[in-house]
A and B are shown apart, each in its own frame.
Chain A
Amino acid sequence: MSEGTESAGERKTATVWDNFLRISMREAGVAIALVIIVLFFSATAPYFATPENFLKIFVQIAINTVLAAGMTFVILTGGIDLSVGSVLALCTVVGATIMVREDLSPWMSIPLALLACMATGAACGAINGWVCEKWKLPSFIVTLGMLNVASGLARVVSDNSTITGLPQPFVDFGNQIYFGVLPSIFLIAIIVILIGWFILRFTVFGRFVFAIGTNEEAVRLSGHNPRIFKIAVFTISGLTAGIAAMVFLLRLNVGSPIAGIGYELNAIAAVIIGGTSLSGGKGSIIGTLVGACILQVLATGLQLLGAEDNVKPIVIGTVIVLAVVLDTYRNRYLRKLEAR
C-alpha cells in the first residue's frame, strides 16, 4: 500500500515539474534567450548592470514595444503592417501641433492631442484594413502604400519641420519615474502589453484573431465574417502606432515627419523573435515584449561593450535569426514534453 502511495506521489511531483517546464517553456520561451543575453552583457559590458542603465533600457524599448504590440495582432491573423513607422511620424506631428497651440491650456491640449494621435493612427489602420479586405489585396502592398502616404501627410502637416515646445506638464510626465524603477513611458508600454494580452487571451475577439490566422476559410465557413476582424486588427495596429507616437513625444519632446523611419522592421523583428509565426495563428504578446527587450538590450549592450558601429548590425541580425532558430528547438522540446 505504502509503496503505491509513494510512487503515486512521485508521479505527481514529476507531473508538477513537467507542468512547470511546459508552462515556462511555452510562456517564457525566448525569455531564456533574453536572460542569457542580459547575463552576458552584465559580465562583459561595463556599466551594463547598473540601475541607471536598466532604467534607460526600459525607456528605450517603450516605443518599439507599443508598436510591436499592435503588430502582433496583425501578424497573428497572417497579415503584416509596414506602415506603423510613418503612421507614428504622422501622429507625432498631429499631436505636437495640437500641444504647441498657444490658445489651449495644457489641460485641454494634452488630452486633445492624445485623442487626436489615437484617432489618426486608428484611422490609418482602418483604411489599411478596409482597402485590404475590400479589394482582397495583400496587406504587404496596401501598408507599403500607407507607409508613403502617411509619411507625405506628416511632411504636409508639419511643413517639413520638427515641432518643439511641448507644454511643460507633458514633458515632466515623460521624465517621471515611479518608485525609482518605473519610468512613466515604460509604464504605458506595459499597460498596452497587458491590455493586448488580456484581449488575446480572454476575449471572443482574441479567439477569432488566432482562429483566422490558423484557417481563415474555416472561420468563414463556420458562419463568421473574417473581414471585420481583419479590419479590426489593422485598426488596432494603427491605434498602437498612435499611442507609440505619444510615447515618442513624451520621450523626445518633438514631433517630426522623419520620426519612425525603419520602426516597422524593428516591430516586426520583436514580434517574430517573440515567437509569433509570420504565417499567423501562433504566438503571444508577452513574447513580443521579450522580443523588444532582446533587440534593445543587444543594441545598448553592444554599444556599452564598445563594439564597432559596423559590427552591431551584424550581431543583431545574427541574433534575430538565432532567436528564431532557438524557438524551433523550443517547440520541438515542448512537443516532446506534451507527449509524456
Chain B
Amino acid sequence: MTTDPHEVAPVLEADAAARHNQDAGPILRLQGVGKRFPGVVALRNVSFDIQRGEGHVLLGENGAGKSTLINLLGGLFPPDEGSIWFNGAPYSPASPLEAFSKGIRVVHQELNLLSNLTVAENLLFEHLPSRRGLVNYREMNRRAAELLAEVGLDISPSTVVSRLGVAQMQLIEIAKALAHESKLLVLDEPTATLTSKEVDRLFEILHRLKERKVTTLYISHRLQEIYEVGDRVTVLRDGQHVTTEPLKGLAIPDIVRLMVGRTVTDQGVFREDIKPTGEALAVEGLRLTETSPPIDFSVRNGEIVGIAGLVGSGRTEAVRAIFGADPKASGTIRVNGRPVAIASPKEAVAAGICLMTEDRKQQGLLLEMSCAENITITDLKRLSRKGLLDRAMENAASERLVAGLRVKTPTIFQKVGTFSGGNQQKVVIAKWLYRGSSVLICDEPTRGIDVGAKVEIYELMGQLAAEGKGILVVSSDLPELMSICHRILVFSNGRLAGEVPRAEFDQNRILSLAYEEYGRVRGN
C-alpha cells in the first residue's frame, strides 16, 4: 500500500477500467447458500446474483436472514452449505480482514469504531501513514480531513470518537469505507440514525460511488429511500429467497407484501377511541445543566406523546434525565399528580416510570442471559419469597408475555443475544410490561426493526395507551410519530422548541421547529 494519496486515484481508476473491460458477469453470485444457528435456520438455499456496478437493495423483515447474509460476505463465519462467487472466483474469506482485502467492505449496523482513538486514527486504522514505524500524524490528519469533507462532516480529524453522536459515528463508518475503495460496499441500515440532511448527503456519496462503478448492497427498513439508491431488489423471508427483480415498477405496498407475505398497512394504528384523561407524567422546569433552558411538558393517561428533533437536540438527554439515568440540574417531576424525587432509575421505576433505551444491546438487555431472565429482571421481588426465586412463577410469567407479544423464540430459555432486533425490542417491552409501569418512555422503539414488527409495536402502544398508560415516544422517524401520536413535542438544540397537536400535524412545520434553534444560533 502506497502512502501517497495522489498515487491511489490513478491506480484505482485503472483498476476500474480493467474491471469494466472484464466480461459483464455478476460481481457476486450466491448458490444454494444455507446457514444454521442454535435453534434457528438463518438461511436456507439462497441463490441470487448482484451485477457489476448496480445498486442492489436487500430487504426482509427482522430475522429474515439479512444480517446473516451480510456476515457471510463480511467473513465473520462461513456458510454451512452452498457457495459464494465473488468477481468470478470462489469466495470464502476466513476473516473480516480477508473479506476486506478481497474488496468487500461491510459497514455494520453496530458501529465498530475504536471509541478512545481519534477520528483520523479510526478512518485510516488499517493503513496508518507511517515512516519507519512512526505514525505520520500530519499526513494522517490531512487525509482524514479529505474523507470527512467527502461525507460532509464538519469536525476536526483529531476529535476523539467517543465524544461524537451516533449519526456522526455512522458517517465516519461510511467515510472509512471510502478510505479503502472497495469493489462491493455493503451498507447495513446506514440511515437508521441519520437526519434527513445527512441522508441526502449519504445518497450523494452513493451516487458518486456508482459513477465509479462501485457496486453497493444496501439494507434498509426505510422503504421510501431505497428508490434513491437501488436498481434491483432482493427480498428474503424466513431465511429463504423470495425474489430478485428490478425496483422500477415495484410500489412500496408490493414490497411490503413480498417481505411479510401478507398485506400490512400502518394506517389505522392510531386509536381514535382513546380519550386521554388526567395527568400521567408532568415535567416542570427540567434543566439538564445549570445554564440550559427549562423544559416543561406533561403526558396524560392514555396519551401517546412524540418527541421529535435532530439527533443531539437533547431529546434523548431529556428522557434519560427524567428517568434518572443521567443527573439533572433541577426540575420537578410528577407521576399521577404526585411529585417524585428521582435521583436514579431505581426511584423512577418505583414511581412507575420506565425507559426503553435507544441502545437495546448496550443498555437494555442482558444479551448473555435468557429471555425469561431478561423479562423478570425489572421485578424479582414479585417472584421470590425470602430471597428465593420461584422459577415456576418466573417461567409462567415469561411464557405469558412472550406469547402475548408474539416473541419468536423456541423457548424462553434462549439467550436474547441470538434474537433479531424486533424480537429483542419485544423483550424490552415485555420486561417493562412485567414491571407494570404506568408511564412508558420509548427512545427509538422501532429502530432497526422490520415493517411487520413495527406495526405490531405500534398496535401494542395503542393497546397500552387504551389501558390508561402515558406513553412518551422519541423517534427520528417523523412519519412514525405522526401516525401514532396525539401530540408531538419538538426539540431543537437543547430547547423544547414547540408542541404540535395531532390536528395540526404537518411535516414541514415540525421540521422547521426542529431546525429553529440552529438557524438562530447561526444567525447570531
Interface of A toward B, CB cutoff 8 Å: 202-208, 210-211, 214-215, 217-225, 281-282, 335, 338-339
CA distance A207 to B388 in the complex (A): 10
Q: Quick check: A225 and B344 within 8 Å, CB to CB? A: yes
CA distance A223 to B348 in the complex (A): 7
18 A-B residue pairings within 8 Å (CB atoms): A203-B388, A204-B381, A207-B389, A208-B380, A214-B366, A215-B362, A218-B362, A219-B366, A221-B325, A222-B378, A222-B431, A223-B348, A224-B346, A225-B344, A281-B369, A338-B38, A339-B38, A339-B39
Q: Which of B10-18, B349-357, B491-499 contacts A (4 or more CB under 8 A)?
A: B349-357
CA distance A339 to B368 in the complex (A): 16
Q: How far is the CB of A155 from chain B (nearest CB, A)?
A: 39
Q: How far is the CB of A333 from chain B (nearest CB, A)?
A: 12
Q: Quick check: A215 and B367 within 8 Å, CB to CB? A: yes
Closest 8 A/B residue pairs (Cβ): A223-B349, A339-B38, A214-B366, A204-B380, A338-B38, A204-B384, A222-B378, A214-B368
**Residues of chain A lying within 8 A (CB to CB) of residue B325:** 220-221
CA distance A205 to B362 in the complex (A): 22
Which A residue's beta carbon lies closest to that of B385? Answer: A204
**Residues of chain A lying within 8 A (CB to CB) of residue B384:** 203-204
**Interface size, B (range):** 20 to 34
**B interface majority secondary structure:** mixed
User: Beyond A204-B381, A223-B378, A339-B39, is A215–B365 a contact (Cβ under 8 Å)?
Assistant: yes
CA distance A265 to B354 in the complex (A): 42
Q: Quick check: A218 and B380 within 8 Å, CB to CB? A: no
Interface of B toward A, CB cutoff 8 Å: 36-39, 323, 325, 344-346, 348-350, 354-355, 357, 362-369, 373, 377-378, 380-381, 384, 387-389, 431, 435
Q: Quick check: B389 and A202 within 8 Å, CB to CB? A: yes
Most buried by B among A215, A224, A282, A339: A215
Which B residue's beta carbon lies closest to that of A277? Answer: B368
Q: How far is the CB of B35 from chain A (nearest CB, A)?
A: 11
Q: Quick check: B377 and A222 within 8 Å, CB to CB? A: yes
**Residues of chain B lying within 8 A (CB to CB) of residue A220:** 325, 344-345
**Residues of chain A lying within 8 A (CB to CB) of residue B348:** 223
Q: How far is the CB of A151 from chain B (nearest CB, A)?
A: 35
Which B residue's beta carbon lies closest to that of A199? Answer: B387
**Residues of chain A lying within 8 A (CB to CB) of residue B388:** 202-204
CA distance A339 to B35 in the complex (A): 12
Q: Quick check: B344 and A215 within 8 Å, CB to CB? A: no
Q: Quick check: A335 and B38 within 8 Å, CB to CB? A: yes
**Residues of chain A lying within 8 A (CB to CB) of residue B323:** 221
Q: Quick check: A211 and B377 within 8 Å, CB to CB? A: yes
User: Beyond A207-B380, A339-B38, is A225–B346 a contact (Cβ under 8 Å)?
Assistant: yes
CA distance A202 to B378 in the complex (A): 17
CA distance A222 to B432 in the complex (A): 8
